[in-house]
Structure 1
Amino acid sequence: MENEKVNCESDKLLLLQMEQGNKAAFNKLYNKYWDWAYSRAFARLGNSSQTEDVVQNVFVKIWLRRENPISNFQAYLHVAIRNQVFKVIAKEKKKCPFIDNIQNFQEAGLLADRGILWEEFHKEYQSHVEQLPPKRQKIFRLRFHEDLTTKEISSALGVSRKTVQNQLGKAISQLRVSFSHLFSFIGLIGLW
């Protein structure tokens, strides 16, 4: 109990110093709470790269908004991490429904009576992926065939992470349009 009170008092002093632009105070809070914040985010995301991004973004926002008083840093950090995690999860759900459909179809293709349909679908899928512009195709394959993160792809190709995300979005949109008729057909024949 005494230790919690001392901890809270030291946080308040560090927060006050941070509000005045003291980077050392911010760094102390960052070092003190990084592991705690990381474990909270990782428990929900299960992806270390995404978790690092979430925690880093939250701390960047805290520094950028340092003039705004925070009375309880741990509670504030908890809510900020939770909200950022929800944003990541919502964005992921919006981003890849096309890929989820492909994976579901692939699982359905494992059944013997659907093997021929799976082969036809796979050929058409490969054909459409090969029609993507070369850079977009490479990014798409690295992300969805080799399961690299956007951070890993940007590093490997020497492009910004935003470029990777934009190219993935365009690739998915292009393929979604190409396959819209096929997914309607798959639904009609009951493969899902």
Structure 2
Amino acid sequence: MVNELIFTDQDLITAMKNGNQKAFEELYERYWPEVYSMIYRRVRDKEVTKDIVQDIFINLWRYRDRIIAERSLAPWLNVAARKQAISWYRKQLSTKQREALYQDGEVLVPSSSTELEAKELQNLLDREIERMPVNMKQSFQLSRYENKSIREIASELSLSEQTVRNNISIALERLRSQTRKFYAEPANLAGVLVILFTKI
């Protein structure tokens, strides 16, 4: 096994890209618990979590030559975990929608595609995030996309912890406002919102 006290993430990523399986195994052992925790807090199902984590690391090895990561693999894994969780939610919604087509022996036609709605909503929210003031956008992204604590964000952005809390709170309210405009009924919210709005 590659000694993690000697090799940094950057060393291991470089070795993995060159086909070093031991480097990949070390990265797997180093990050598996963290990735498992990130996914489980989103899907709340142990077996589903294990499957998703396995898929993430399979893709890490399969597409290792395309991985863009410098000093740490954590940001790449955070993005991968978020995308996989969103994909899982969309599949769940699509399954429920198909089941809803057949009720009491009748075929029901849905008003729109849940998956398409999820994509449209995600694009809408992404645009709203880009319109936010720089500190607000960075506070939100570091919290939701990189899973950093309030203290870590405050230190990284040279802001007070209360300012970071306020930034995240206002950012969430702006996104909720856009969501309310997008959907006529809150009950129709796509599962992707759970990932965006739930503090993890």
- TM-score, L = length of structure 1: 0.48
TM-score by length of 2: 0.46
- Choose between structure 1 and 2 for higher RCO, CA contacts under 8 A separated by at least 6 residues: 2
